[in-house]
Amino acid sequence: MTTVRIENDNLLKLPKEILGSLELRPGAELSVELDESGRIILSPIKVLPINSQAPLQSSIKEKNLSTGIQFIKGVGPKIAEAFERLGVKTVEDALFLLPNRYEDRRQLREIGSLRPGHTEVFEAVVISATVSSTRGGRKQYEVVAGDATGTVSFKWFNFNAVWMKKVWQPGKRGIFIGEVSQYGFHREIHHPEVEWITAGDDISTVMAKDPATYGRIVPVYPLTEGLHQKSVRHIMKQVVDTFAADVETYIAAEILARHHMLPLADSVREAHFPSMDSDFQKVNNGATPAHHTLVFDEFFYLELGLALKRRGFTMEEGIAFEVNHKYTRPLLKLLPFTLTHAQRRVLSEIKEDMMAPFPMHRLVQGDVGSGKTMVALLAALVAVENGYQVAFMAPTEILAEQHYLGIHTLCDSLGVKSVLLTSSHKGKEREGLLGQVAAGEAQIVIGTHAVIQEKVEFLRLGLGIIDEQHRFGVLQRGILKKKGENPDILVMTATPIPRTLAMTVFGDLSLSVIDELPPGRTPVVTKVFAESRRKQVYGMIRDEVEKGRQAYLIYPLVEESEKSDLKAAAQMAEELQTSAFPDLKVGLLHGRLKPEEKEAVMASFKANEIQILVATTVIEVGIDVPNATVMVIEHAERFGLSQLHQLRGRVGRGAHQSHCILIASDKLSEDGVKRLRVMEATTDGFKIAEADLEIRGPGDFLGTRQAGLPEFRVASILKDGRILEEARREAFTLVERDPELKLPEHKRMKDELVKRWGGRLELAGVA
């Protein structure tokens, strides 16, 4: 018999089994009658078709998924706080916090068959427990346990002897878990997990009591302070069992079928708690259909957003520029060199985009010294020829100044007005600059993010150029775009970006590659030297200077503090001038110098009045002195590979053999050694970028964590490149067929896209 209770608000709530027996769904209408004995008779008079339930059911599921993690049994305020440090605030966040790895605990092993290097589960009896000392005199607590096939030692190095003696008593039987190490013929485990078996208990009963820990492939989750593996596993088991069914798949059925994908809910369950018959190696390598499905799903929505974004650009009305050569031809005549074939090809691609009636969104990628800035200046002059202004944005004041120093002399010769605008400009000087920009007098405005601040008003912005785009997020690109009426956007980077990274960060841009260096370049010979060989390095510098050449000595930013950076470089310049090279002229270049002071130092270096230039990373981009043939980088281990490659690109610009010397600490980390070996082995920017990405990971590779890099819950652009390409192909094909996702079968997919990526990709217009 089923009991029905009348609630305080006088509502009669029917249990699920009654609704099910009447084949009712929420929204159905009932007739209510009393029979002769006074019993209630319910009969449906309006049953809703199943598809009308979709929005309601989905709303319920969404509500369930947004449940705060603190409402899960066993999660108090402290554990909730710890989970939040892992990015887990809701049940949905928890479902997508996948295990780092897995342990195969499907069967108990005998001690005789324990495998070194594996985490094993076995039953044993404690034989002895004592405090002993290592050869170095360090105290350790050692327990010997055994079964009929052999013995194993357990060791602890930080312990409370009284408590250990109380817990680890000879004769106690337990199930033990730990990673096995082999020393000679002896096996040992440090700090094992244990589940004690009380007298009379059957081992299978003990294991059955804790199905999250025994008798299965067990997940091992990422932890933070305040979380323990066993309790996290139990919490996750509860979350998966209760809420995994609420995760829905919205990707079109034919795409799912084509890629042999599972329903998302099943994939979540399998990824957390794999089936008994799963292939353990595949599970541990993330190579199961469940993992594939979750990764594809995540990549697909990002690429769908990027496809719509690119499609949106081509649908918008832009500026159809004309190429009339008013300034571009005279500029080419001013240059002491001719453009390379690659520069001409990329310039043609840019001009074609600029002449089209919709906005250009193009990424120009080129190795150090390939001549991107000249291509960008020629594109800027096309806009100026048409009566439009250009905003040229660099990530740092130093880089902005570098561009300004290189561009304004050429612009002055052509009668084109260029200005520098950074946050250093204050008061009346700033007001004057803003006035020139607003009046349209400043035709090319070069600066940092100051260029996109609210108070900067352009009269007629036609082109935005962003240098080193990876330091800017997608949103900043959008703000620059709003400074005009759909201006063209040209993005440049000297960091060769591996294909998978380009597809996630710049997937909405068309790509041009300047894959040729100007003629006369000689490959740079790179060598790593320990600090103890500094005298030898100074000897090499002197040899080159005696041949009439010049040298750079670079100091890194230390702890991102310009003060310590400046001090180190200034001290070094002084020491070199007084001690090592008293007969030569040593110059100093750093970020604190005023633009005119920097210009004066560089002019002296170019004229060979300064033979050795001590600098901070100011010179990373934009300085061109063909006579400089030695680049010495101090504390080379503190730089990323891409930055070392950029710095090395400052030499090797003339016909003479150039050298890059990396002076590194004697105490190098494994990663440090790897990085510097790559620099010695190759000058190919793409190989260097791939190695850098592998060593440092995407966030650090791009220079900053914000960087516009998507945050993935499950996918890895390092491991899952093939799936990324599949997802991208499907997403772009779908958007070609349904450019605005208007078909009814794509509505839920569109809603999911806006929920996941709307804000990050500025997709508000899609909803």
Question: What CATH number did the domain enclosing 665 receive?
Answer: 3.40.50.300
Q: Which two tokens stand for residue 337?
A: 């060199």
Element (H, E) at 544: helix 534-546
pLDDT score for 600: 84
Shared domain for 528 and 674, answered yes or no, is yes
Q: Which residues contact 562 (CB under 8 A, 6 or more apart)?
A: 591, 592
Shared domain for 678 and 555, answered yes or no, is yes
pLDDT score for 582: 93
**For residues 656 and 634, what is the distance between their CA atoms, to the nearest angstrom?**
23
Residue 448 vs residues 70, 86, 391, 422, 589: alpha-carbon distances, Å: 43, 34, 10, 6, 20
Shared domain for 533 and 632, answered yes or no, is yes
CATH number at residue 202: 2.40.50.140
643 domain-assigned: yes
**For residues 605 and 599, what is the distance between their CA atoms, to the nearest angstrom?**
10
Shared domain for 676 and 530, answered yes or no, is yes
Whether the Cβ atoms of residue 90 and residue 243 lie closer than 8 Å to each other: no
Shared domain for 26 and 170, answered yes or no, is no
Shared domain for 539 and 676, answered yes or no, is yes
Residue that is last in its domain, among 6, 29, 48:
48
Sheet hosting strand 586-589, strand order edge to edge: 524-530, 658-664, 628-633, 550-554, 612-615, 586-589
The whole domain housing 25 covers: 16-48
505 domain-assigned: no
Residue that is last in its domain, among 655, 682, 709:
682
Phi and psi of 605, rounded to 5°?
A: -70, -45
Shared domain for 38 and 142, answered yes or no, is no
77 domain-assigned: no
33 domain-assigned: yes
Shared domain for 29 and 120, answered yes or no, is no
Q: The tokens 């705060």 sit on which residue? A: 68
Shared domain for 558 and 669, answered yes or no, is yes
Low-confidence ranges of the chain (pLDDT < 50): 46-52, 558-560, 562, 704-707, 764-765, 767
Residue that is last in its domain, among 663, 682, 701:
682
Which residues make beta-bridge pairs with 30?
44
Residue of 554, 551, 610, 606 whose CA lies nearest to 585: 610
Q: Which amino acid is at 283?
A: V
pLDDT score for 618: 62
85 domain-assigned: no
pLDDT score for 136: 77
**For residues 509 and 491, what is the distance between their CA atoms, to the nearest angstrom?**
9
pLDDT score for 107: 84
How many of the other CB atoms lie within 10 Å of CB of 36? Answer: 5
Which residues make beta-bridge pairs with 633?
554, 662
In the chain, the number of structural domains is: 3
Shared domain for 654 and 542, answered yes or no, is yes
135 domain-assigned: yes
Shared domain for 145 and 30, answered yes or no, is no
553 domain-assigned: yes
Task: Give the pairing of strands 524-530 and 510-514.
Answer: unpaired
38 domain-assigned: yes
Shared domain for 530 and 676, answered yes or no, is yes
Whether the Cβ atoms of residue 413 and residue 334 lie closer than 8 Å to each other: yes
Whether the Cβ atoms of residue 187 and residue 153 lie closer than 8 Å to each other: yes
**For residues 424 and 209, what is the distance between their CA atoms, to the nearest angstrom?**
67
Q: Which two tokens stand for residue 710?
A: 């998507």
**For residues 505 and 367, what is the distance between their CA atoms, to the nearest angstrom?**
18
Element (H, E) at 418: strand 418-421
